Amino acid sequence: MSEQTATMDIGAVQIEMPEKSGTTRSSYGFRAALPQRIEIAIAVGCSILLLLAWEVSVRMGWLNSLFFPPPSVVLSRLWQMTAHEDLLYHAGVSTLRVWVAFGLSVALAVPIGIVMSGYRVVGAALEPVIDFIRYLPVPALVPLSIIWLGVGEETKIFLLWLGTFFQLVLLVADDAGRTPNEYIEIAYTVGAKPRQILADVCFRSMLPNMFDSFRITLGWCWTYLIIAEIVAADSGLGFVIWTARRYMHTADVMAGVVAIGIIGLVTDQILRRLHKRLFRYL
């Protein structure tokens, strides 16, 4: 009797076997987990495939190389412009502009956002105005900012600031508002005063989320850069791209765009790493 059940058990195990091999296959199914190695391989492979298709299409004459210079040419131009022309200088100027404008946004948005979330009176007063300005497209404000500030550095900084401050202040207010009530009540019941709670608890607790908000907003700053630098600039990546366009140097235009992409990607990765380092307790 016991022998019989034992063989039955073995039988049951054997029956399960093919089902198990069936489940490994479904890693390509709906919502199935994909092994990380395969995921990376697919991601890299597809990108390369796309570039190859582009390269081949131009070489075969299916695409006009005047409008669609192949990736190989764009990359070699990028290298030349970096090594022998002054692309690095222009990239530096652009980066500086972005960081100055972003710094101004942060310096204003953090205190205002925190106060907006902490004191509903302030929030109620500012939210409609900020929400309105937030939806104004930055390019639409170019003429106004030229009237106000001329065509110098101020205008460019102002436009970048305009594009980020009003978004960031709401993000910061939201981050501040997400501090769990429990934290605040813990602080009250060990004898903290509102000001101390703000500094020791709210600010500390919102820091990781706020850091993420900074990272996202910094990305937007770069999207407004071109608009700002097209406005009568004589330096910066936007200027490089716009000048190349005038002479129909399509490869240079693309190289400029790629340069912005690379700077954005690298900054983002650095900030992500920094986030992991700073907030190891998460």
Taking each helix axis from N to C terminus, what angle separates 250-278 and 71-83, rounded to the nearest 10 degrees? Answer: 80
Q: Closest approach of Cβ 211 to another protein, in Å?
A: 13
Query: Please, what is the end-to-end C-alpha distance for the chain in angstroms?
Result: 56
From candidates 120, 204, 272, 273, binder to another protein by CB under 8 A? 204
19 counts as binding another protein under rule CB under 8 A: no
211 counts as binding another protein under rule CB under 8 A: no
**CB-based contacts of 175, cutoff 8 Å, min separation 6:** 113, 206, 209, 210, 213
Q: Closest approach of Cβ 206 to another protein, in Å?
A: 11
Residue that the structure tokens 């000048």 belong to: 243
195 counts as binding another protein under rule CB under 8 A: no
17 counts as binding another protein under rule CB under 8 A: no
**What are the b/e assignments for 266-278, b being 16+ CB within 10 Å?**
ebeeebeeebeee
Give ∠ CA 65-226-151 in degrees, rounded to 5.
130
Q: Which stretch binds another protein (CB under 8 A): 93-101, 141-149, 198-206, 221-229?
A: 198-206
Q: Considering the complex, state which of residue 85 and residue 200 has its C-beta at the smaller distance from another protein.
A: 200
277 counts as binding another protein under rule CB under 8 A: no
Q: Cβ-count burial of 114 within 10 angstroms (0-12 exposed, 13-18 middle, 19+ buried)?
A: buried
DSSP annotation of 63 reads: S
28 counts as binding another protein under rule CB under 8 A: no
274 counts as binding another protein under rule CB under 8 A: no
Q: Considering the complex, state which of residue 39 and residue 200 has its C-beta at the smaller distance from another protein.
A: 200
Q: What gap in Å lies between CA 149 and CA 146, rounded to an integer? A: 5
Q: Closest approach of Cβ 186 to another protein, in Å?
A: 6
Residues that bind another protein (CB under 8 A): 180, 182-183, 185-186, 188-193, 196, 200-201, 204-205, 207, 279-282
